């Protein structure tokens, strides 16, 4: 009986860890997607990060990286700035 309780306990703990990690990974993906949608999407590489997806990775490391996107209009820059400030990354 004790073994069953231990196994159920372990299953619960590992299940909880997997659910936590899955939730965490999906929230990062959603965050990346949300930022990517706010970029011009030209994939021109003018920012020096190779693509818009590269820019997203750069923004996650350093917020002000979005300033290197040359084709982005000023109003869109301001929107992204507000978004990033509200996210408190
Ligand atoms: S400069 Fe802007 S549009 Fe061009 S790849 Fe970089 S983020 Fe995308």
- Is 43 a pocket residue for ligand 1 (Cβ < 6 Å)? yes
pLDDT of residue 44: 97
pLDDT digits (tens, 9 = 90+) for 40-78: 999 999 999 999 999 999 999 999 999 999 999 999 999
Whether the pTM exceeds 0.75: the reply is yes
| Residue range of the domain that includes 44 | 2-87
Q: Which residue CA neighbors atom 2 of ligand 1 most closely?
A: 69
Number of domains, the chain: 1
As given in the structure block, the two tokens for residue 36 are 């990517």
User: Which DSSP string do the residues of 7-51 spell out, in sequence order?
Assistant: HHHHHHHHHHHHHHHHHHHHHHHHHHHHHHHTS------TTSSSS
User: Distance, CA 33 to ligand 1 centroid (Å)?
Assistant: 15
pLDDT of residue 89: 63
pLDDT, the chain, mean? 94
């Amino acid at each position: 009986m004790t073994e069953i309780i231990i196994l159920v306990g372990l299953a619960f703990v590992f299940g909880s860890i997997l659910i936590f990690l899955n939730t965490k990974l999906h929230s990062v993906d959603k965050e990346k997607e949300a930022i990517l949608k706010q970029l011009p999407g030209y994939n021109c590489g003018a920012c020096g990060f190779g693509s818009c997806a590269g820019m997203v990775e750069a923004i996650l490391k350093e917020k002000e990286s979005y300033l290197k996107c040359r084709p982005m209009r000023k109003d869109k820059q301001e929107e992204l700035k507000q978004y990033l400030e509200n996210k408190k990354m």
